[in-house]
Amino acid sequence: MNALLSLNVHAPFAAPSSFSFYDHSRLQLEEEDGHDHREDALAADKVTIKKRKLCLLLENDSNKNKIRKVSKNMKCGPIVNNDSIVRLKRFITGEMYGLDMKLVIQKVLYESDMKKDQNRLNMPIKQLETKPHEFLTDDEIRMADKDGIEVRVVGSMMQMYARPLWLKKWPMKKTDNYVLKTNWNNFVADNEGLKKDILIQVWAFRKDRQLCFAIVPVERTDAVEDAA
């Protein structure tokens, strides 16, 4: 009787707590066919772990791609109308007798805009505030599509820049762009405030019926990353 009591008391602790019905069934199979099924179980576990790791890698890569895709686009917020813009409008319409002044784009100067080897200001057509046919004539649109148009540009110093720039349309995979190129690097060097990550506005206007542009930096208080 004492032996039975002793056996009953220790019986619950005789087997490990992890011992399950699955383990019992596996032992029965090993006794029947003489094969160690633990290797099969370990192999199956390894396959499962590899699949989980692969899923995690794919998920992480997908998230990174989403982040990269989002980071390329940046909302510039509402159109800025501060003292710099008021002063620019007075200069163009007053001192220069410019006409038909229209906002072409408000954008952030990206690293690619400031690279010396690029020598151009990029203006994606999808981001334009004014449609091309509203600030360009039909002839100018055709010229921009081909060889480009020589234009004069007003800078932040409130004077017409001595060297001309060229307006050219560059077809791209995702969107066509207008660019202001040739002498862009010189224009940046000679006009204060044009730096990477600065918000700018580009305006089109007419001087003696000739197409001109104005490029000025504005405060970047409303620029936020798109969550282009």
Residue 40 confidence (pLDDT): 60
Q: What is the CA radius of gyration of the chain?
A: 35
Q: How many whole angstroms separate alpha carbon 172 and alpha carbon 157?
A: 33
Q: Which spans in 118-221 are helix H?
A: 132-135, 138-145, 184-190
Q: How many whole angstroms separate alpha carbon 199 and alpha carbon 203?
A: 14
Q: In what order do the strands lie in the sheet with 120-124?
A: 99-108, 199-207, 210-218, 149-154, 165-170, 177-181, 120-124
Euclidean distance between the first and the last CA atom of the chain, given in angstroms as a whole number: 83
209 is written with which tokens? 């019926």
Residue 7 confidence (pLDDT): 40
Q: How many whole angstroms separate alpha carbon 153 and alpha carbon 167?
A: 11
119-124 long-range contacts (CB < 8 A, ≥24 apart) are: 119/181, 119/182, 119/184, 119/185, 120/179, 120/180, 120/181, 120/184, 121/179, 121/180, 121/181, 121/184, 121/202, 121/215, 122/177, 122/179, 123/177, 123/178, 123/179, 123/180, 123/202, 124/175, 124/176, 124/177
Residue 16 confidence (pLDDT): 45
| Stretches in the chain below the pLDDT threshold 50 | 1-22, 29, 55-74, 221-228
175 is written with which tokens? 């969107």
Residues 115-148 have pLDDT tens digits of 999 999 999 999 999 999 999 999 999 999 999 9
Residues 160-175 have pLDDT tens digits of 999 999 999 998 878 8
For residue 168, the 8-state DSSP code is: E
Which residues on adjacent β-strands are paired with residue 152? 212
